[in-house]
Amino acid sequence: MSSRDPQDRAFATDVDEFDRNIYATGKGKIREAVLAADLNALIHSARPLRVLDIGAGLGQVNTWFAAAGHEVIHTDISQDMVDKAKLRHQALGLSERYHYYVADLQSLESIVPDQEFDVVLCHAVLEWLAQPFAALPLLAKRVAAGGWLSLMFYNVHAKRMANMVYSNFDYVANDLQVKKKVRFSPNHPLDPGVVLARMQQFPLTLFRHSGVRCFHDYIRPPEFDFEKLLQLELRYRHQEPYRALGRYQHTLFRKEYR
């Protein structure tokens, strides 16, 4: 039985708009490029891997693993998301690589009881949860010894910086709080330092840490050479102070052998 907080955000009825606003844009292309670069060695592992994707949405990232011959469990809280992901994977001829579940993160115990995975993906999920840090032990538990946790989350420092650049001073002064939530703006952006400190309680070692959209979100006007920008995003994603300005933070952890 799920213990999901009713305040957790689910994209149940606006899948197409979510797709257009997130993935069919320059910012979505940068997100995918950074994740593809960071996960490249795992995607092309010579050994078949078992992959669990939590909050998998439309399945763009886990498609890379399925296409490389790995087995994927695709979970999302939204039935519409899962249905559309199935159609995409069918069109790509990858359906045999998948098992699908409509479920929230808190329901993992009933879906995959006592199962561990070579790769656990959890991208852009924590910031939509009312209690994001309660999710961390649930994620760590699912990673097999020697396996990997790919965790990406929305960066509160980048959100504050971008709004200062946009001269939204009242919003920043009000600690980024508004009376009416924006549909595609995460409810609970996270402090990367706090996330990394919390992760130290688990037998997980930080292997890679990248900023996602270190430059893109601060550029005005919007007309620019996107390919040149993309190459610079990839070049500087690991380097401070640019990494800390990434709108999202991607962290890749490896679980120690027992």
Q: What residue type is 63 in one-letter code?
A: T
14 annotated among ligand-binding-site residues: no
16 annotated among ligand-binding-site residues: no
Q: Which two tokens stand for residue 95?
A: 């359906």
Q: What phi and psi, each to the nearest 5 degrees, are found at residue 215?
A: -120, -35
76 annotated among ligand-binding-site residues: yes
216 annotated among ligand-binding-site residues: no
Core vs surface per residue 6-33: b (16+ CB within 10 A) or e: eebbebeeebeebbeebeeeebbebbeb
Q: Which two tokens stand for residue 11?
A: 């994209």
Core vs surface per residue 128-165: b (16+ CB within 10 A) or e: bbeebeebbebbbebbbeebbbbbbbbbbbbbbbbeee
188 annotated among ligand-binding-site residues: no
Ramachandran region, residue 93 (left: φ > 0; alpha: ψ -120 to 50; beta: rest):
left
Which of 246, 238, 249 minimizes the C-alpha distance to 214?
A: 246
* β-bridge partners, 98: 72
For residue 205, how many other CB atoms are within 10 A of its CB? 12
Annotated binding residues, as ranges?
A: 31, 55-56, 76, 123
Annotated binding residues for S-adenosyl-L-methionine, as ranges?
A: 31, 55-56, 76, 123
